[in-house]
Amino acid sequence: MPHSTVPDGSWWLAALGLLVLMVLAGAVASSGPSEHWLHTLAPLLLIPAVQALRAADGNALSGFAYMLLLPTIWFALYGRLREVALSILGGSLVVILPLILIGAPRYPAVGWRGAALLIIVLATVGPLVHNLVATAREQTMTAELSSARFRAVFDDAPVGMALTPEHVRADSSFFLVNTALCAMLGRDHAELMSLPLRAICEHDDLPTLLIDAADTERSAQFEVRLRHRSGRTVWAAISRARLTDLRGQSPQIAWQVQDITGRAETDNALLDALDLERAATERLRNADRARTELVSSISHDLRTPLTAALGYAEMLADGDMGALSAQQSATAATIARSLTKLSTIVGELVNLPVGSDERAVSVQPVDLHLVLEDSLHMVAIQSALRDQQLTVTNNLQSARVEGDPVLLERALVNLLSNAVKYTPVHGSVAVAAHADASHAIISISDTGEGISADDQLRIFDRFYRAPRDEHHPVNGTGLGLAIVKAITTQHGGTITVRSDPGQGSVFVLRLPLQ
């Protein structure tokens, strides 16, 4: 133990020995994995070494005392709190013990002050540095943990993910990619990160990728075609977001890439199918138009010679061209009847509305009350001749529909003359018409022969006539109801039939009010 403020050279040797020991302990500790106590040995040995140096240098007057800070700082940086405390205690003993054991006058008062100051510095610096280091270590661990979590989420994400610098160009490349993106593009991580964007994006879609990416303030979504290693196209839905660190610095772009090849191919196939269907519909429409025009023009061409033939046949039958035998005039009359029938068919063909889905040619407000009255006039005589009871309840005084009065009258006359035609002598025909809030409703009932369920499905087809007993023929072309249906549809209305064979029929016409 030192006993004087006078330097004592014999302590140099002890100090040197302790310092050598300290260096050796430090070397062993840092040479490989070793026990914790071995790591604490070197700084602990510095404490007696400092005491030896002080004794050699004159104890209280020696500046070596401040070397006692070193073990405390070392433990604060790398050791545990109790080792910090141990180094403070050791340092304090080194400066205090000589004062206590030897005391004044060999130790002047300045020795106490120096010792107290050193102890205060040790007790302050040690815990403070230790605390700072612990906080820094905790923050580092938190940052490492969140970085590890991010990596795990990023790498295990089921969709493709990648990071790029904030400003992307055609020759930029990803600096981080995940497994899903590698699988999607058939490349490994290193290869994908070494390729410029232009190498993995279809040429035409590259501007979309870059322009949208340049606008980094908004998050964006778009679809582009990427290129698989094999050369096949991968349709991808891409969304991207801007990432920054906690201080809003070091911006990067995070890309999320979803493979939508299956969906895109289905969409394209659907679009192709739609185009095909549109073309087919257009072809059908053209064919229908051509067919209707053909029928109309043939009918027109037939009309002129037919009218002439009919005129001559009637003149022949009437004897205007000289007297005929009874057989000759009967034959001429048959020819005239057949020509009349033919002429009726041609007339119906010419007047058949073109295409059931097109609107009427002339559109004007139509007073349906008046149209019904006019139509009834046309069939009244026919009905009277058959001695039928014709009952009319026309409550359509204020009913106006939008359409063509001529066509509407034609539809009504067809329905009414059918009712009269297919109802036997002495039968009844009843017409009832009214309007509700949105429609005019005209029903035409008869007590005629009725229509079978099968025939009800077909009577609105062109040229369809229900099969009938050849002993009771009824004139007709099978076009009347087809015309009614076409006109009704053109006016946005509906025509329906209810009937029981032998019990008569009810036709109901509904037309939207103006």
How would you classify the pairing of strands 428-435 and 389-394?
parallel
- Does position 466 interact with ligand ADP (CB under 6 A)? The reply is yes
Nearest to 88 by CA among 66, 113, 69, 114: 69
Q: Name which position in 168, 181, 185, 419 contacts ligand ADP (CB under 6 A).
A: 419
Q: Closest CB to ligand ADP among 17 and 478?
A: 478
| Mask for 108-137, x = binds ligand ADP (CB under 6 A) | ------------------------------
| Residue 62 or 414 with smaller CB distance to ligand ADP | 414
Pair 107, 60: CB distance under 8 Å: yes
Stretch that binds ligand ADP, among 199-207, 210-218, 363-371, 414-422 (CB under 6 A): 414-422
Which range touches ligand ADP (CB under 6 A), out of 77-85, 174-182, 318-326, 470-478?
470-478
Cβ–Cβ contacts within 10 Å for residue 184, how many?
Answer: 21
Q: Which stretch binds ligand ADP (CB under 6 A): 31-39, 112-120, 183-191, 460-468?
A: 460-468
List, as own/partner pairs, every contact residues 292-301 make where C-beta atoms lie below 8 angstroms and the sequence separation is at least 24, other chains included: 292/352, 292/354, 292/355, 295/349, 295/352, 296/349, 296/350, 296/352, 296/354, 298/349, 299/346, 299/347, 299/349, 299/350, 300/350
Our finding on whether 449 is near ligand ADP (CB under 6 A) is yes
CB of 347 to ligand ADP, least distance (A): 12
Smallest separation (angstroms) from ligand ADP to the CB of 509: 13
**At a CB cut-off of 8 Å and minimum separation 6, what does 440 contact?**
368, 396, 399, 401, 433, 434, 510, 511, 513
**446 forms part of the interface with ligand ADP (CB under 6 A):** yes
CB 376 within 8 A of CB 392: yes
Q: Which is nearer to ligand ADP, 72 or 418 (CB)?
A: 418
From 37-45, 295-303, 385-393, 416-424, span contacting ligand ADP (CB under 6 A): 416-424
The secondary element (H helix, E strand) that includes residue 407 is helix 405-421
CA-to-CA separations, 509 to 146, 322, 431, in angstroms, rounded: 76, 51, 11
Among 75, 174, 255, 422, binds ligand ADP (CB under 6 A): 422
- Rounded to a whole number of angstroms, the distance between the first and last alpha carbons of the chain is 124
Q: Rule CB under 6 A: choose which of 51, 62, 375, 418 binds ligand ADP.
A: 418
Distance from CA of residue 327 to its chain's centroid? 82
Name, in order, each residue with C-beta under 8 angstroms of 273's C-beta and a sequence gap of 6 or more.
none
Helix H or strand E segment including 268: helix 261-318
* Closest listed residue to residue 379, CA positions, set 420, 424, 351, 340: 420
Distance between CA atoms of 173 and 155, rounded to whole angstroms?
Answer: 18
Q: Least distance (Å) from ligand ADP to the CB of residue 335?
A: 22
- Per CB under 6 A, which region of 13-21, 147-155, 206-214, 472-480 contacts ligand ADP? 472-480
Q: Give dist(CA 259, CA 352) in Å, integer.
A: 56
Q: Please pick, from the candidates 29, 431, 451, 511, the single residue that binds ligand ADP as defined by CB under 6 A.
A: 451
Q: Which is nearer to ligand ADP, 91 or 450 (CB)?
A: 450
* Options 265-273, 371-379, 381-389, 463-471: segment touching ligand ADP (CB under 6 A): 463-471
Please give the order of strands across the beta sheet that includes 252-259. Answer: 176-177, 160-165, 252-259, 233-243, 220-227
Rounded (5°) CA angle 334-475-355 = 120
The single residue among 189, 337, 434, 465 that binds ligand ADP, judged by CB under 6 A, is: 465
Which residue number, 182 or 459, has a Cβ lying nearer to ligand ADP? Answer: 459
Q: According to CB under 6 A, which one of 122, 459, 495, 511 is a site residue for ligand ADP?
A: 459
Contact pattern from residue 475 through residue 514 relative to ligand ADP, giving x for each residue in contact according to CB under 6 A and a dash for the rest: -xxxxxxx----------------------x---------
Member of 79, 111, 114, 448 binding ligand ADP (CB under 6 A):
448
Binding site for ligand ADP (CB under 6 A): 414, 418-419, 422, 446, 448-449, 451, 459, 464-466, 476-482, 505
